Each structure stands twice: as C-alpha cells, then as structure tokens.
Amino acid sequence: MALPPLPRPYQDTAAYWEAAKDHRFIIQKCKECGEFQFYPRGVCSHCLSSDLDWQEASGKAEIYSCSVNYRAPHPGFADATPFVLAIVTLEEGPRMMTNIIGCDPESVKIGMAVSVVFEDVTDEVTLPKFTPV
C-alpha cells in the first residue's frame, strides 16, 4: 500500500514532530507578546520575536469546519476514503488542520467538541488527530 504524504521535520518543526512521536501535543507561545501560534515557526507570527516557548497544549478543540472527502487526494489515501478533513480551533486559540477519527464521518458537525488522539502512521511519524469527546 502506498504511503500518504509524511512530514519531513525541519528546523522549525522538529520538536513538534518529536513530541508527537511521544504522544505529546505541544504548541508555541511567544515569550515577548504572549500569543500562541500554530503551525510552528522560527519566529512569532504576531511580533516576529524569536523568543518562543513550547507548551503542552490541552488537546481540547472545537470543529471550525469539516468536510467528508470521498476522493483520495493522493495514492496514499486510496484505502482511507471517506475521511473527515477538518480545521479545529484549539482551546489555546490557534487553528489547525486535522482529521476527525473514531466516529461515523457523516456524524461530524461544525461546533463539536473534540480532543487530540495520536495516530502512529510509521515508526518515525505520528500525526495528532482529533476525535469527538
């Protein structure tokens, strides 16, 4: 079976993916302006400070939007359809893309409360995903 697209960690993102492998969900908070951000960057996207802190996120989120995808966007998803593509708003504020899993795709609705779960895709890569609370 073909693999899905997988992240190649780089300077900005290595710590995030390393934590995910340990089933920890961490996000960045700026030490200068206090804002959280997602996705991880080398600077704060609010004030351009390089003084960033990694914090354990609560893993709680709300679905901002979702779509049941019936067509595989990549050969690696051929056996995965239908799947729920979603943008969730983290309790800390930032939004992120994810999949909603562990439920009937058609039952997923905007506004639902969800929490983080970890999917070990390969020995090297774990993806944070979300499931209804």
Partner 1 sequence: MANAMRDVAIVGVAESDLGRVPDKSKFQLSAEASRLALDDAGLSVKDVDGLFTTIITEGGQFSSMMMAEYMGITPRFTDSTSIGGSSFVAYVEHAAMAIATGLCDVALICHGSTNISDRGGKGGPMSASTDVFGPSQFEEPYGVSTVGSYALAAQRHMHEYGTTSEQLAEIAVATRKWASMNPKARMRDPITIDDVMNSRVIASPLHLLDCCLVTDAGGAVVLTSLERARDLKKTPVQVLGTGEAHTHRMISQMPDLTQTAAAISGKLAFERSGLTHSDIDVAQIYDSFTITVLLTLESLGFCAKGEGGAFVSNQRTAPGGDFPMNTQGGALSYTHPGMFGIFTVIEGVRQVRGECGPRQVPNAQVALCNGTGGVLSSTGTIILGRD
Q: Is 118 in the site for partner 1 (CB under 8 A)?
A: no
Q: Is 13 in the site for partner 1 (CB under 8 A)?
A: yes
Q: Is 133 in the site for partner 1 (CB under 8 A)?
A: no
Q: Is 127 in the site for partner 1 (CB under 8 A)?
A: yes
Compute φ and ψ for 20, nearest 5 degrees: -60, -40
Which residue in the set 15, 21, 77, 132 belongs to the binding site for partner 1 (CB under 8 A)?
77
Could you tell me if 18 and 43 are in contact, meaning their C-beta atoms sit under 8 angstroms apart? Answer: no
Query: What is the DSSP code (8-state) at residue 39?
Result: S
Nearest to 38 by CA among 100, 97, 116: 97
The C-alpha atoms of residue 94 and residue 102 are separated, in whole angstroms, by 23
Comparison of 19 and 87: residue with beta carbon closer to partner 1? 87
Comparison of 86 and 116: residue with beta carbon closer to partner 1? 86
The distance from CA 4 to its chain's CA centroid, rounded to whole angstroms, is: 15
- What is the smallest separation between the CB atom of 16 and partner 1, expressed in angstroms? 9
Structure tokens at 105: 């795709």
Residues that bind partner 1 (CB under 8 A): 2-10, 13, 38-39, 64-77, 80, 83, 85-87, 95-99, 110-111, 121, 125, 127, 129
